[in-house]
Amino acid sequence: MTQRFESRRALVTGASRGIGAAAAERLAAEGADVAITARTITAHDHLAGSLEDTAHRIRRYGTTVAMVVADLTDERDRLRILPEAASALGGPIDILVNNAAAAIYQPVGEFSLKRRRILFEVNVQAPLDLAQAAVPAMIEAGEGWIVNVSSATARHWTGPPFALGSQGTTLTMHGASKAALNRMTNGLGAELFGTGVRVNTVEPRAAVLSEGAEALVGGTLRPDQIETMEQMVESIVMLCGCAADFTGQTCVSLDLIDEFGLAVHGLDGTAPG
């Protein structure tokens, strides 16, 4: 196990379960002090996992872990996350992983304004608010890494005719918010190029069966439509330590692994057997 993130301080959103929890664990396994945030500290009503569970797993690596309970739909909550995380970890955040996402699926013609606002607050406004809060200290340090977790739903369907898949057009508004996240990432990466701050998005090429995804599509996918949690996390941690000239990119998990010849490690940082 390497300690490539030793002395780094990371903040991971949506870290009570799924990709966020896994990425936080992997960063800690490789030496980072990690702040994790989600809406509640204890168990979800119907999904496994909590901030307490993630913190318990992280503590075995001997690094510092801090929990920040916040609702990303609330601007006031968003604005206190960075200060609280930095205070708890003893210094500015070096690595920001914007993983939290609102996933609401409904046909476009029926999508209410309230639900649209939730999607864009969590998937677009929150990542930008957190990035804006983190960037000044990153610029002062001469380096920093912002990784936004995106989705293949951002891509347009070609047609007609349209091959919509099993979820049909219900993915549209979620994809629209992720398309906005990709464009924002590209612009911020371009804006900060030369400062040492890298800003990238990464999306899974195939489905990652987190607790939420398993509940939504579990049992309906072929093996070739699934990638492992370890593969997705490998691509995220690669971007958490990428070179200064790799920025403003919209990346795909398995493509990154292939392009850079990455070995896929366990969440505890151990090399593949």
- The mean pLDDT value of the chain amounts to 93
Task: Give dist(CA 6, CA 80) in Å, integer.
Answer: 25
Query: What pLDDT digit, counting tens, does each position of 205-258 carry?
Result: 888 865 554 445 555 556 666 799 999 999 999 999 999 999 999 999 999 999
Domain covering 9-260 assigned CATH 3.40.50.720 in the classification: yes
Question: Picking from 11-25, 169-183, 202-216, which range would have the lowest pLDDT averaged per residue?
Answer: 202-216
Asked whether 41 and 126 are in contact (CB, 8 A), the reply is no
> How many CB atoms sit inside 10 A of residue 258's CB?
11
User: Considering only CA atoms, which of 8, 240, 1, 5 is closest in space to residue 141?
Assistant: 8
Q: Where are the domains of the chain?
A: 9-260
**pLDDT at position 273:** 62
Beta bridge partners, 149, equal 202
Helix, coil or strand: residue 88:
helix
